[in-house]
Structure 1
Amino acid sequence: MGPRQTSEGRDESPEERADRRWIELLQEVRVIQTGVQILFGFLLTVVFTPRFVTLGTADKGIYVATVLLGAATTGALLGTVTFHRLVTGHRLKPETVVWASRLALVGVVLLLATVTSALLLILRLATSHSAAVPWTVGGLIVWFLLCWFGLPAWVLRRYSSKD
């Protein structure tokens, strides 16, 4: 390794690496936050529709849980930016990137819960509480877990260098 070359093979200082990782994280959060904002905005309007008053207790409970999960998802994802803003100028960029990345991962897990809850509610209403709804939602959860966590874990195991 050269004097500035990291174990990743990049010619960058620790500060440059933290800056690059921060920019990458922000791009990832921007992508996911757009979807979260659309979903959360839609959820906030549902309570004002005429159909809402006809929902049963269970469906209203699922709706409330979904809104709360959407709010928690938004909080975690926006927390990445506020975390950075509050510690900027204190020479903590590498630590900021690590903690903001953790918040973003929490946001992704909360998004999984939000989407699951929203799907449960929508499919219950669309299919008149069909017995297949839990199985359908369960299958979609497995799909999300594979796409969001399983495939990246497999790639890490398969292609990471053995140190």
Structure 2
Amino acid sequence: MEAPSPHRPTHGRPETEEQRADRRWNELLQEVRVTQTGVQILFGFLLTVVFTSRFATLEQTDKTIYVVTVLLGAATTGALIGPVTLHRLVTGRRIKPQTVILASRLTVVGVVLLLATVTSALLLILRVAMHNSAVPWIVGGLVGWFVLCWFALPVWARHRYAAGGSDDAASDAEGRDDR
């Protein structure tokens, strides 16, 4: 029997560290493409709102919520485009595994900012549309749904189906896996 190579894992997929980084980078890019499209549409829409005639009639509170929403949308866009520019600026430096970890972290920050942007946009839209004291409850319920779908379910699945130990959660959080 051959001794394990330092470049080949003893468990998971039979791939080198470089192959794993390439695979994980491609997976991350697909995930970022999905979120970027939604963010670009939302952000583009938000940028046009201030130029409508209805904007001038909004209460100051709604205008403030709008400004916060636009700023959150801009921050979300920055975080979700960050992995692409990070990769472009460090390409050829032989640090792809570290690049994947940093890009993964930026993507998670982008998703958290997306949650805040969607929350703020929902609050604004529902306040203007409903003028109702139920709006915070509706928005809170939707935020709970997003948190369940985007964070709680993945964390539950990670713990429920983790194979081989407690360090899997820490590895995933840092952008590493053994698939």
Relative distance call for 1:162 and 1:10 in structure 2 (3 A) is: closer
**Identical amino acids, percent of aligned pairs:** 70
Instruction: Quote the Cα distance in structure 2 between the aligned partners of 1:20 and 1:139.
Output: 36
Name 2:60's counterpart in structure 1. 57
Name 1:72's counterpart in structure 2. 75
Computed over aligned residues only, the root mean square deviation of the Cα atoms, in angstroms, reads: 1.3
Name 1:85's counterpart in structure 2. 88
Relative distance call for 1:7 and 1:151 in structure 2 (3 A) is: farther
The DSSP-based 3-state class of the residue aligned with 2:133 is coil
TM-score normalised by structure 1 residue count: 0.96
Name 2:143's counterpart in structure 1. 141
Query: Structure 1: where are the runs of 5+ without partners?
Result: none
Asked which structure has the greater RCO (Cα within 8 Å, sep 6+), the reply is: 2
Structure-to-structure mapping, 1:4-83, within 5 angstroms:
5-6=8-9, 9-83=12-86
| Deviation at residue 30 of structure 1 after TM alignment | 0.3
| Deviation at residue 65 of structure 1 after TM alignment | 0.2
Q: How many residues align?
A: 162
Relative distance call for 1:40 and 1:7 in structure 2 (3 A) is: farther
Relative distance call for 1:127 and 1:8 in structure 2 (3 A) is: farther
| Deviation at residue 7 of structure 1 after TM alignment | 5.2
TM-score normalised by structure 2 residue count: 0.87
| Deviation at residue 161 of structure 1 after TM alignment | 1.4
Higher mean C-alpha deviation, range 22-31 or range 2-11: 2-11
